Structures are given as C-alpha cells and as structure tokens.
Structure 1
C-alpha cells in the first residue's frame, strides 16, 4: 500500500429487502464484517428510518465502516475505510455482500493519504 489507507466505496444491489430494513441485523453484520477483516471495533451507532431504511457507522481503531440502505430499491451504499496494512477492507465488503444476500456488488478502491513527494504538496486556500 502506498499511502495512509484504503477506502472502498461499494454499491451493493439486489439485496434481501427485509434484511436491509432490519436495524439489528444490519448492525450485527457490520460489526461482524469489521471483525472478519481483522479490525478492532471501538464504537457503533445505527438508526432506523421511518418508513424504511437503516444508516449506521462502526468506528474501528483503523478508521470506519458506514452503510445506508434503501430496502425498497434492494440497495445498500457502503464505505469501508482502513488505515495501515493489517486490515483488508475487501474482506469486510465481501462479508456484507454475502450476508445481505446481494446478487451484485460493484466497488472502487481509493488510496487515501498518498504523499509521493511531500515537498511538492501545496496547501490550497480559498481566501
């Protein structure tokens, strides 16, 4: 890895609608996915929307995992950001995809904190 961390932006489609709308289930699989990836869970916060949908965050020592679900569209937007090389964010994404019973998942990995040549890094100001 070149940089401080890896950030996976996942689009998880064709999921089980009931599971996407179950706050306790979503919280459970998010925590489990962090642990399966080798992360250390610090804090957890989830919210159930009315009439549907769940949003949540799992704060890990290595950064965070987030989710927002649209049960009516069978869709979940997921971010997994990990710092260091010990935790593999793809393990967490794949675990969530499996347990949401998704038929499709697309994801992009973004390297975060890349400092190829620190001397050439400039601070941009809008002042």
Structure 2
C-alpha cells in the first residue's frame, strides 16, 4: 500500500475550453500523460455531462497498474480537480506521479493551484479501531 497520493485543485484554467468540456479530449490528455510518464493504464471510464449541444464538463478515471488517476472538470468555473495515487511497492513511482501532475497542470494552464501530497501506507501511524465509532 505504500505510495504517494497527489491531490490538486486548479482554478481559473486558461486552456482550450474544449479540454474542460469534452470527455474525449480529457480522456486523450489523461492517457497520453500517463503513458508519457511511465505509468501503465489498465482500464478507464470517462463520462460527459450535458449534451452534444451544451457540454457541461466531464469526469474520468484511469485505472493504472500503479493505482489510479481521477479528473473532474467544471467548465462553468474553469476549474479542475486531479487525484493521482501511485503505489511504490515494487518500485518508487513518485517521480512519475509528480511529472504526470505537472503535465496535466500545464495542459490546463490554471492561474491558481492548491496542491496536497499525502504519503500513504505508514502502518506505524495507524491507531486501533475504536469500537464505538468515536474519533479523537
């Protein structure tokens, strides 16, 4: 489970509006980015919101041999959310993940970005389950 989880929120994106509104364009970008950075797509699903006359954004997920990429667009606010998780079990994929996120961010050309990195798979930090369901 050890890996790196990258979460990015992109605001005021200045890319071609089609990239925010068209699931096919979004799918092409995601697949090209993952492949270029050494990640291995093994499945995918993309959904177009709205209709052919008035697209209203897209959402998509690429299942990777290394874990997953999820992307959601809001053309009406020129916003995008990215979620890329890679496991580092047999090799360290952190560099590939960071490169892929940089490529995606560059493609969307946001004016503002909120980035978060989470290292996952640290069992020594995990606490016992509280049977009452209460949290500290």
Structures share fold, TM-score greater than 0.5: yes
Q: In the TM superposition, what whole-angstrom CA distance separates every residue of 1:64-112 from its partner, at most 9, and x where no partner exists?
A: 0001100010000110000011353211111111112323322100111
Distance 1:77 1:31 in 2: 16
Measure, in 2, the Cα distance between the counterparts of 1:99 and 1:19.
9
- Residue equivalent to 2:34: 34
Q: CA deviation at 1:22?
A: 1.4
Runs (5+) with no aligned partner, structure 1: none
Deviation at 1:121, TM superposition (A): 4.3
Whether 1:94 aligns to 2:98 is no
Matched residues in 2 for 1:110 and 1:122: separation? 21
CA RMSD between the two structures: 1.9
**CA displacement at 1:33 relative to structure 2:** 1.9
Q: Is the 8 A contact 1:4 1:83 kept in 2?
A: yes
TM-score by length of 2: 0.80
State the number of aligned residues: 123
CA distance in 2, matches of 1:13, 1:124: 38
Structure 2 unaligned blocks of 5 or more: none
Corresponding residue number in structure 2 for 1:113: 121
Within the candidate set 112, 117, 128, 1:122 is matched to 128
Q: TM-score, normalised by structure 1?
A: 0.86
